[in-house]
Amino acid sequence: MRIGVLTAGGDCPGLNAVIRSVVHRAVTHYGDEVLGFEDGYAGLLDGRYRPLDLNAVSGILSRGGTILGSSRLERDKFRAACENAKQLAEEIGFDVLIPIGGEGTLTAARMLSDAGLPVVGVPKTIDNDISSTDRTFGFDTAVGVATEAIDRLKTTAESHQRVMVVEVMGRHAGWIALESGMAGGAHGICLPERPFDPADLVTMVEERFARGKKFAVVCVAEGAHPAEGTMDYGKGEIDQFGHERFLGIGTALAHELEHRLGKEARPVILGHVQRGGTPTAYDRVLATRFGWHAVEAAHRAEYGKMTSLRGTDITMVPLKDAITELKTVPKDRMDEAESVF
């Protein structure tokens, strides 16, 4: 069998672990050939690929990023290319495609699958917002980075009696803010799923200062918004990939709190630090298992599906179930962290 593999969308710690695992299982167990498309779907459409053998994936397990490169998808261009998907596979000469990516990548995978191309998807995103899988690799790493940042910010905040507003990634789902906020013991957490009122944060900070705790850390997801009428904060434009351009809630909220409290407040934007660097052991293991199961699914001709973690088991689920809605933070998970909302 000839297996094509690609990584698309925002990169994520653990991508290389999947590539390595696919190559190991495919080459060593099945005697397959693996082709790595460069820069995501762009490489597939332009026919840019290279063979991946055991040497090509040696030493990449612990490496962040992706050895294949990645790019975001321009959906209109892609839609047009889908019409020739089967012909493309015949020309390049591969039997099955394993795209590794988030919601956009899996939507594209579904389109290719509908167009008749054999596809087995592997979900990834640090945001952990893909339905039909309990976890995506990359999330654990991002939560670890954000938690360490909160730990560090607490000591400097305390020294200067400041409020620190840490902005973490999380476009539509606040999983990183929720879990790093809980793990780091943030005093306030703001998620995209629940518009917040800055007045509640002001009350929280004042109460802390009143009982002698003269600092506070607020963890805010980049996609969080204030409740209507509570603070001046607009909505950004939509870019060519269909993403809202964020206006910087961390900075806006820090200014707002400083103004309302009359105390120093500083924004800290963690940004792509959360996505770069070496994956945690948990993410390496999950990524490796996903790669192994993707190859198995390819050999069972279980197409139009993606790997999924359910409890501790890996199962295959239809791609269509994974992309119909995003997995956002449910109310009961927010309630567990309520004291800090």
Minimal distance in Å, beta carbon 190 to ligand F6P? 15
Structure tokens at 183: 């793990």
Catalytic residue among 127, 129, 140, 283: 127
Is residue 11 part of the annotated active site? The answer reads no
Tokens 């199961």, located at residue? 293
- Tell me if 173 contacts ligand F6P by CB under 6 A: no
By beta-carbon proximity to ligand F6P, the closer residue of 251 and 315 is 251
d(CA 36, CA 43): 9
* Cα four-point dihedral sign 330, 336, 338, 341: negative
Which phi and psi (to 5°) does residue 161 adopt?
55, 50
* CB neighbours of residue 235 within 10 Å: 10
Only one of the segments 120-128, 150-158, 225-233, 250-258 lies at the binding site for ligand F6P (rule: CB under 6 A); that segment is: 120-128
Only one of the segments 56-64, 77-85, 164-172, 192-200 lies at the binding site for ligand F6P (rule: CB under 6 A); that segment is: 164-172
Structure tokens at 29: 């167990």
d(CA 30, CA 24): 9
Residues 80-109 that bind ligand F6P (CB under 6 A): 102
Minimal distance in Å, beta carbon 127 to ligand F6P? 5
Minimal distance in Å, beta carbon 329 to ligand F6P? 14
Kindly state the number of chain residues that form the binding site for ligand F6P, as judged by CB under 6 A: 10
Structure tokens at 225: 């918004």
Only one of the segments 50-58, 125-133, 228-236, 280-288 lies at the binding site for ligand F6P (rule: CB under 6 A); that segment is: 125-133
Minimal distance in Å, beta carbon 244 to ligand F6P? 9
Q: At 228, which amino acid appears?
A: E
Residues 271-330 that bind ligand F6P (CB under 6 A): 275
222 annotated ligand-binding residue: yes
* CB neighbours of residue 78 within 10 Å: 19
What track of x and - describes contact with ligand F6P for positions 242 through 281 (by CB under 6 A)?
Answer: ---------------------------------x------
Minimal distance in Å, beta carbon 275 to ligand F6P? 6
Only one of the segments 51-59, 145-153, 169-177, 291-299 lies at the binding site for ligand F6P (rule: CB under 6 A); that segment is: 169-177
Short-list 242, 193, 239, CA closest to 79:
242
170 annotated ligand-binding residue: yes
> Kind and range of the H or E element at 154?
helix 139-160
Pairing of strands 120-123, 305-310: parallel
Q: Which residues contact 264 (CB under 8 A, 6 or more apart)?
A: 160, 161, 162, 163, 258
Residues 19-38 that bind ligand F6P (CB under 6 A): none
Minimal distance in Å, beta carbon 104 to ligand F6P? 8
CB contact at 8 A, 264 and 161? yes
d(CA 332, CA 330): 6
Q: Is 53 left (phi over 0), alpha (psi -120 to 50) or beta?
A: beta
Q: Annotated active-site positions, please? A: 127
Residues lying near ligand F6P in the complex (CB under 6 A) are found at: 10, 102, 125-127, 169-171, 222, 275
Query: Binding site: which residues?
Result: 10, 72-73, 102-105, 125-127, 162, 169-171, 222, 266, 272-275
Query: Binding site for Mg(2+): which residues?
Result: 103
Query: Binding site for ATP: which residues?
Result: 10, 72-73, 102-105
